[in-house]
Chains A and B, each alone.
Chain A
Amino acid sequence: MSGTWQRTFEVSAPIERVWHAFTTGDRRRAQPPGARPDPNAAVKLEVLELEPLRRLRFAQQGGTLPERYEMTVVFESTATGSRFTVTRCGFGEGEGADVFSESNAHGWEGGFMDLVFELETGYAPMRHYYGVSDTCTGILYAAREWGLEVLSVQPGSFGAEAGLARGDRLVRLAGAALYTRANVCTLLEEHEPGDRLEIEFVRNGALHRASGALSSHRVPSMAAVGE
């Protein structure tokens, strides 16, 4: 099942400022000019609870989201400022929902870290937003205890050119170790579509090497959902 994701963030700013950041404007949708349009930009948030300086709960469904999900944010004052704890649940059951949930959690984590950064410095780092990287692999993968397992590969993509198939275990990309989804994101942000990268993977108890040209998210048939 796609399970629950929870994380607590400490902020060196008073609780009023943190609350204000959460409740003012629609910050989720900030994108720099030229970024790919977010397919879920029109998907509205349904506010379920709004207890000032204490608790916020909202839900979202529609767009490319596999199912409805709910997010609860609990705010507290601390000796050095404040903290907030986010809990997200939903997205339903099944492999597709699991992968979406995993990828979405990584995105939220980046988004909230950006928010803490902005609250503490006044500078919005924009490290994460929809379309932060146009580069993709066309591989749908799941995070396992030992690393990333290939679930499916889009025809015509980097993953297809490299010959990857379901069940392959990813080891290295461009010479850098792959352990988590975040490691792939780092390399894709660094490289442009068309760059040729080497990928190493384990299949049937042997290490294999292959290479391919990175794909672009702007070619929708090449992008795997939740990559």
Chain B
Amino acid sequence: MSTAWQRTFEVSVPVERTWRAFTKILEREREQPNGAPPDPNAGVRRRVLELEPMRRMRWSTEGGSLPERCEVTVVFESSATGSRFTVTRCGFGEGEDADVFSESNALGFERGFMDLVLEIETGVAPMRHYFGVNESTTGVMYIERDWGLEVLTVKPDSFGAEVGLARGDRLVRIAGAAIYTRADVWTLIDEHEPGTELEVEFVRAGQLARGRGKLSSYRDRRVVAIGE
């Protein structure tokens, strides 16, 4: 099942500034630089459920491409060196698709909050993460296991299909770099443009196999896999 995700972030500014940054998030909608592919969830309904200044904030989102309703709770505290906030997210429902979406969404949230901390501390919004930050996509839906990434499905005509990947394949390396987590794949598709040819090493039936393909484009919605 798609379990809850939780993480605490320490920030070197007073809790008032951290609180203000969050209330700004609730006001401003999903920032994206010019030219980024439009976010399919731009119209997602967000409902504020609790707003206890400097202490606690809770909201829910549903609609768009979200598999089911999800709830986010943020608890704020003062600390010896500034403040900290703890984010807890739950929801998205049950099943393989929801699990993958939940995992991918957690990495996105984690990155978004790390960007927020950097911005609060330096005044610079690094925009390392936003919807469409990667123009490239593999067309592969995969899930994190204790040994690495397992292929669940592959979109026809995608990079993954050209490489020859199939359900159950275990990813080992892409472009010569070890693949352990979803973040490793994100690093490579963040670096390379659609059309770039990359080699994939994977294990199937106890044997190492290699395949090559050209990265797909996120703008071609047919090849985009859930939660990639």
Q: Give A contacts to B, CB under 8 Å.
A: 9-11, 109-110, 113-114, 116-117, 120-123, 125, 127-128, 132, 145-147, 169, 171-172, 174-180, 182-183, 185-187, 189-190, 202, 205-207
Beta-carbon contact of B178 and A110 below 8 Å: yes
Beta-carbon contact of B147 and A120 below 8 Å: yes
Beta-carbon contact of B178 and A9 below 8 Å: no
Contacts of A109 in B (CB 8 A): 180
Contacts of A9 in B (CB 8 A): 146
Contact among A113, A169, A178, A183 for B147, CB-based, below 8 A: A113
Beta-carbon contact of B181 and A182 below 8 Å: yes
**Given A11-B146, A113-B180: 19 more A-B contacts, CB < 8 Å:** A113-B146, A113-B148, A117-B147, A127-B178, A127-B180, A145-B10, A145-B11, A147-B114, A147-B128, A176-B187, A176-B190, A177-B111, A177-B129, A182-B180, A182-B183, A182-B184, A183-B183, A189-B178, A205-B122
- What is the interface of chain A mostly: helix, strand, loop, or mixed? mixed
Q: Give B contacts to A, CB under 8 Å.
A: 9-11, 110-111, 114-115, 117-118, 121-124, 126, 128-129, 133, 146-148, 170, 172-173, 175-181, 183-184, 186-188, 190-191, 203, 206-208
Beta-carbon contact of B148 and A117 below 8 Å: yes
Beta-carbon contact of B187 and A186 below 8 Å: yes
- Minimal Cβ-Cβ distance residue in A for B8: A145
Beta-carbon contact of A146 and B114 below 8 Å: yes
Contacts of A11 in B (CB 8 A): 146
**Known pairs A177-B129, A186-B178, A207-B126; A116 contacts B183 (CB<8 A):** no
- Minimal Cβ-Cβ distance residue in A for B84: A145
**Known pairs A132-B178, A147-B114; A207 contacts B124 (CB<8 A):** yes
Closest Cβ–Cβ distance, residue B32 to chain A (whole Å): 15
Beta-carbon contact of B178 and A169 below 8 Å: no
* Bound Cα distance A155, B112 (Å): 34
**Known pairs A123-B206, A180-B183; A169 contacts B118 (CB<8 A):** yes
* Bound Cα distance A11, B146 (Å): 8
**Known pairs A123-B207, A176-B191, A177-B187; A202 contacts B126 (CB<8 A):** yes
Beta-carbon contact of B206 and A122 below 8 Å: yes
Beta-carbon contact of B190 and A171 below 8 Å: no
Beta-carbon contact of B173 and A127 below 8 Å: yes
Beta-carbon contact of A177 and B133 below 8 Å: yes
Beta-carbon contact of A145 and B114 below 8 Å: yes
Contact among A10, A121, A125, A190 for B188, CB-based, below 8 A: A190
Beta-carbon contact of A125 and B117 below 8 Å: no
Contacts of A177 in B (CB 8 A): 111, 128-129, 133, 186-187, 190
> What are the 6 A-B residue pairs with the smallest beta carbon separation, nearest first?
A127-B178, A177-B128, A146-B118, A117-B147, A146-B117, A189-B177
- Minimal Cβ-Cβ distance residue in A for B123: A205
What are some 6 contacts across the A-B interface (CB < 8 A)? A121-B206, A122-B206, A125-B208, A146-B121, A171-B118, A183-B183
Contacts of B121 in A (CB 8 A): 146
